[in-house]
């Protein structure tokens, strides 16, 4: 993908001389685009840069013996539109590194600073669901604003209303742009889309609309965080090839339990489709031992490189081309609504 050259140039400026005559000073230089990667998303950023026919900007991170670190740009960003790519999955260093990169770009006189966050961490903390807890998603939004960020680009927020936590533009992309074509390519008969819980019903309905198939809703009760009590399914399951859709897979407890329940209720096959492969705890083991035939995820979070983690059931669909298209359109002041099919 080539960046379009027709981006508006800086306006003509007038400069008053000592004898009060007006001279027109024309600024012919366009704002440059600069792509930088933080350490947790280097591979993702490299692929985005390839789609744009660009090279990643040069930066480094100095780490002190106590664990403190200091990112730095090794090239000028003055007057440039700077895109900083980093998913903020644990540890918290990933979020802190992104904030420091935004702050450094602002202090180096960047024209605009855009945080490209394929995975927006702390999104599950979008409200006070019990007394005396923080709203982490709002806090992260405030931190990005304080760090000098002008815009955020992210994918499949845990709750759409998180966009309202920001006082600047948020480009919210959907992984359905890559999932729906992939599911269609499988040519699955008697397809049904399932939501793993009541909160995922809207997402499941959107997928079902594009794939023209029925919806199954799973109802779960939790004993505590990351521990599922029981799951029941509402809808016609018997004889169906079911695809469970969700925004993330963390411990895979809910997902694998739902898959086993659907299989016991007569489903011919069960697949899962989730944007963010957090895969904490025993997620890989649970998926390998479950009734799931395939788990389809994106590359917003890199998969573990540990050899003991069984990834044989996992298929990765890349979001890098979608992000590259939107970065190009944002840079050229073009509408991005055509990239949304959710």
Q: What is the DSSP letter of 198?
A: G
Distance between CA atoms of residues 172 and 340, nearest Å: 9
- C-alpha pair distances (Å), 323 with each of 11, 59, 173: 29, 21, 8
Q: 261, 303, 300, 269: which is closest to 283 by C-alpha? A: 303
Distance between CA atoms of residues 278 and 65, nearest Å: 29
Beta bridge partners of 236: none
Q: What is the DSSP letter of 160?
A: G
**Residues identified as active-site:** 220
For β-strands 269-277 and 241-249, DSSP reports them as parallel
Beta carbons within 10 angstroms of residue 140's beta carbon: 24
Maximum CA pair distance of the chain?
Answer: 89
Residue with tokens 């599950």: 124
Contacts of 127 (CB under 8 A, 6+ apart): 135, 159
Beta strands in the chain (DSSP E): 13-16, 22-25, 33-37, 59-63, 69-73, 81-85, 112-117, 151-155, 170-173, 191-195, 215-224, 227-234, 241-249, 269-277, 294-298, 314-317
- C-alpha pair distances (Å), 255 with each of 17, 56, 58, 280: 70, 37, 40, 13
Distance between CA atoms of residues 3 and 100, nearest Å: 27
* Secondary structure (3-state) at 238: coil
The sign one gets for the Cα dihedral 182, 184, 185, 186 is positive
């Amino acid at each position: 993908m080539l960046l379009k050259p027709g981006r508006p140039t800086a306006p003509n400026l007038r400069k008053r001389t000592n004898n009060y005559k007006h001279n027109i000073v024309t600024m012919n230089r366009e704002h440059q685009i600069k792509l930088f990667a933080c350490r947790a998303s280097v591979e993702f950023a490299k692929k985005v840069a390839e789609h744009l026919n660009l090279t990643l900007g040069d930066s480094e991170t100095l780490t002190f013996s106590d664990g403190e670190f200091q990112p730095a740009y090794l090239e000028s960003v003055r007057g440039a539109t700077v895109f900083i790519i980093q998913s903020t999955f644990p540890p918290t260093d990933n979020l802190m590194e992104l904030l420091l990169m935004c702050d450094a770009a602002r202090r180096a006189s960047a024209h605009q600073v855009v945080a490209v966050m394929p995975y927006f961490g702390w999104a599950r903390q979008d409200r006070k669901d019990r007394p005396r807890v923080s709203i982490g998603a709002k806090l992260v939004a405030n931190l990005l604003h304080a760090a000098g960020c002008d815009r955020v680009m992210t994918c499949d927020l845990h709750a759409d209303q998180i966009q309202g936590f920001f006082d600047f533009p948020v480009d919210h992309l959907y992984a359905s742009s890559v999932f729906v074509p992939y599911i269609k390519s499988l040519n699955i008969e008697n397809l049904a889309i399932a939501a793993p819980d009541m909160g995922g019903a809207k997402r499941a309905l959107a997928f079902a609309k594009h794939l023209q198939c029925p919806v199954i809703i799973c109802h779960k009760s939790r004993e505590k965080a990351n521990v599922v009590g029981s799951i029941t399914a509402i809808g016609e399951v018997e004889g169906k090839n079911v695809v469970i859709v969700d925004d993330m897979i963390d411990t895979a407890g809910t997902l694998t339990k739902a898959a086993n329940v659907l299989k016991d209720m007569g489903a011919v096959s069960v697949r899962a489709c989730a944007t963010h492969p957090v895969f904490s705890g025993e997620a890989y083991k649970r998926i390998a031992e479950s009734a799931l035939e395939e788990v389809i995820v994106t590359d917003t979070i890199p998969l573990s490189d540990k050899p003991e983690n069984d990834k044989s059931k996992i298929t990765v669909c890349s979001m890098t081309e979608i992000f590259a298209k939107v970065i190009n359109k944002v840079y050229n002041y073009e509408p991005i609504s055509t990239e949304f099919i959710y």
